[in-house]
Amino acid sequence: MRKHLSQHSSKYLLTLIIIIAGVTVGMGYSLDQEYQTKFTKLDNQNTALRVSIDSLSEQLGLTTTELKSSIEGVESDLASTSESLAELSAVSGDFSGIIEDAVKGVVSVLTDKGQGSGAVYSDDGYIITNHHVIQNANEISVLFSNGRTADAVFLGADTINDVALLKVELDDLNELDFDESEVRIGEKVIAMGNPLGLSFSVTEGIVSAKGRIIKEGSAGLIQIDAPVNPGNSGGPLLNTQGEVVGIVNAKLQGYEGLGFAIPSEVVVSDINLILEQIAAQAESA
């Protein structure tokens, strides 16, 4: 009886093995066929794309390289057109796009003695303001347009030109571009800052004069007719491309339309000198 059962079991086992083997081979063949089908379809699509490109090139009378060059030329023209539109908006007096970007690099400088404005010089935390804004201050902090605040450390200053450098422990700031070329009389400018504590205000005007000396020994200032008030000090003066051409630092009290700004060339030179002095002190320490 046991021998009979054993013979039947062997037959069933052999049959099962044959069935499993057949199924496995069938699945492998099916997957291989599916892969081949997808590969063939993809290859056909690539071939069709090459034919389309060659056909388009032929219709235009261009080689593939020339067609690619033409496409790149169109992209360049589109970028140039966008810049022209931005300039046209500026000429027409619409500074909204420029201000939207620039305001991220403007700060309110708050001290235990008063307040003023500042401009982000680099994305790793260096901020420019006027020396008179932070003079004699024991505590300094800055407020950004997004509501974020940070404590600031005074690093150095050119007291004659009224330029000061602060540092905050942040490394993701929106730095402003400084244009060190000479401004032109009659050029449109935008003053940004926090006059009278009214955060992130904007005023528009023109360059009225250049090289104005209001403090003996200092560099000549840019005279502007854009309205500035206490609190504007340290804020950026922008051109119609959104570049910083100066740092606002004074106005004649009792008069309207008589504001002044330190040229960017002077500001950047002073900041570089302060940074060099800091580096030298660090090396000698």
DSSP assignment of 4-22: HHHHHHHHHHHHHHHHHHH
Nearest to 131 by CA among 149, 121, 147, 118: 118
Please state whether beta strands 221-224 and 259-263 pair in parallel, antiparallel, or not at all (unpaired): antiparallel
Is 233 designated active site?
A: yes
* Residue 241 tokens, joined: 């491309």
| Catalytic hit among 141, 233, 264, 270 | 233
Q: Is 148 helix (H, G, I), strand (E, B) or coil?
A: coil
Helix, strand, coil percent content, the chain, rounded in steps of 5: 45, 25, 30
Q: Give ∠ CA 167-172-173 in degrees, rounded to 5.
A: 60
Are the C-beta atoms of residues 150 and 134 closer than 8 Å to each other? no
Q: Give the span between the Cα atoms of 256 and 271, in whole angstroms.
A: 30
Question: Which bin fits 132, alpha (ψ -120 to 50), beta or left (φ > 0)?
Answer: alpha
| Catalytic hit among 117, 131, 141, 162 | 162
Q: Enumerate the β-bridge partners of residue 156.
A: 165
| Catalytic hit among 89, 122, 132, 269 | 132
Is 162 designated active site?
A: yes
Residues designated catalytic = 132, 162, 233
